[in-house]
Amino acid sequence: MNLYAVVLGILVVVLLGVSLARVGSVKTRADYLVAGRSLPAFVLIFTLLSSWIGSGSLLAGAENAYRHGFAALWQPAGGWAGLILIYFVAPRARKFAQFTIPDLLEARYNQTARVLGVIAILFTYTAITSYQLIGGGDILHLVFPLVSARHGQEIIAAFVIVFTAIAGMSSVAYMDVAIGLLATGTLLVALPVLTHEVGGWGAVRAALPATHFAVLGDFTGLRAMELFLPTCLLMLGNQSMYQKFFSAKSEKDATRAVVGWFVGILILETVIVALAVVGSALFRTGEVNEHPREILAYTALHGLPKLLGAVLVGAIFAKVISTANNYLFSPATNLINDVYVRYLRPDASNGNVLLVSRGMVVLLGGWSLWQSLGTGSVLAKALYAYTIYSAALTPVILAAFFWRRATAAGAVASIAAGTVVTVFWDTRWVKAALPAIVTERDAIFPALAASLLGLFLISLATKRPSAAQLAPFTENA
């Protein structure tokens, strides 16, 4: 039997086993949504690492590195910068200790901010889940050529929905530990082995353009910022991250986890880009040149010793599954906590909440699959998703913790402006109304400008928030 198929089969069985093992510990809404607030720093590090590094890094980032070299690091560098500030946010988030970002938005602002936050998160997180399904489908197609990429996406969607629905945050977090350890070890071993296979670092440099090794590469400074800024702002406001902080055993565990997470993504995202660059030196033409997002999996199949290649394919596959689990689970919690329990059934029993939660996972999984089947560029889809969140939510989330003057009206204006500009930026109406030199750029700058203007101008023009609204978000509260 195909070694690659055996590795994937073992991984699926192990992941399913981890999920089933956690089912018995899920009895209440808090168990399902935030793992009973019981996660230690070690588990938090790997679940944060696994949720962040998925197809955005393994497909979009690798494709960028294949085409442009080490300048692709501008995209993950945004996340690294964001984590420096998150070190100070994490203990405050754990102290607040709710279930979702819209909980935070209502407590600090109002119900309208909560509802608009749910809408922005649904657009963002189902888009992110959709390109995880694309990544998993690509891997299944490479390993099993008779399975089309489309059918592969459908199969992966079924896996992800089942894994996510079984045990909620507890299942997601403990699966991430196993996946994080596997992926970290495999990627660190694969890079020197692949470099040796190519003929050493000198051979890599000789095979590629000099721009592949320059700080900006063939990017302009503006293009580098279009990659850096959405990633940085997504990191700063990422609900999946805050939900992990809400799940921590203590504020100290949340803070320690940020340090380990920073070290982990700094190393792993650099290794991923380096692998793609070395792989591009080995495979400059052929099938992968037409589908460069597949460079890591293709290199594992055709450029590494068979066993190591099989394990690397398995690690990439597991990472994609893990990230899809995280980003599918997170908006499901919004529909349950911020819509169903908040407005429809505030007296719902724990059993009813768990049943409906699993139904929401299935519903959102179907929506994500539908998006994946209509997506061409994973990088473009990633930047679209990052921009919605970056412009609509990150400014008001940070203002909740760090700007006492931010008001409910300012937050509502900010969320609405950031969402609307991003969603409609690439439509024909906007392209007809504005000069081409403006509309040919990504949405991040106009969307962020609209969001910040709404937040600051409307906040300064309206009444200050009350002391009661500010109390849960101040450092000494």
- Give the pLDDT confidence of 361-379 residue by residue, as tens digits: 899 999 999 999 888 777 7
Please give the radius of gyration of the chain, using alpha carbons only, rounded to the nearest integer. 22
Average pLDDT along the chain = 83
**C-alpha dist (Å) from residue 180 to 26, 60, 173, 207, 430:** 23, 19, 10, 32, 42
Find the mean pLDDT for residues 404-413: 94
Query: CB pairs under 8 A, 24+ apart, for 150-159?
Result: 150/373, 153/369, 153/372, 153/373, 154/369, 156/132, 156/320, 156/321, 156/324, 157/133, 157/365, 157/366, 157/368, 157/369, 157/372, 159/12, 159/321
Average pLDDT value for residue range 71-99: 77
In angstroms, the CA 175 to CA 457 distance is 44
Amino acid in position 456: F
Selected residue with higher pLDDT from 336 and 156? 156
- pLDDT grade for 417, boundaries at 50, 70 and 90: very high
Name the residue with higher pLDDT: 350 or 131: 131
- Which uninterrupted H or E stretch holds 72? none
Residue 172 — very low, low, confident or very high, per pLDDT cuts 50/70/90?
low
Task: Evaluate if residue 477 carries a pLDDT over 50.
Answer: no
Q: What is the pLDDT of residue 371?
A: 92
The contacts of residue 77 (CB under 8 Å, 6+ apart) are 228, 231
**Class of CATH domain 3-376:** mainly alpha
**pLDDT of residue 171 exceeding 60:** no
Domain ranges of the chain: 3-376
Residue 423 to residue 466: CA distance in whole angstroms: 33
Give residue-wise pLDDT tens across range 210-240. 999 999 999 999 999 989 998 888 888 777 7
Q: Which residue has the higher pLDDT, 196 or 50?
A: 196
Predicted pLDDT at 470: 81
Nearest to 233 by CA among 443, 458, 470: 443
186 and 312 Cβ atoms separated by less than 8 Å: yes
Local structure of residue 248 (DSSP, 8 states): B
- Look at residue 97 and tell me whether its pLDDT is greater than 80: no
Q: Given pLDDT bands bounded at 50, 70 and 90, which one contains residue 96?
A: low
Residue where the block lists tokens 């000099």: 210
Provide the pLDDT for residue 142: 85
Q: Tokens for 119, please give them.
A: 């809408």
Indicate if the pLDDT at residue 180 is higher than 80.
no
Strand partners, 248: 39
Q: What are phi and psi of 443, to 5 degrees?
A: -75, -10
The per-residue pLDDT for 69 is: 94
Tokens of 222: 């503006």
Res. 395: pLDDT tops 90: yes
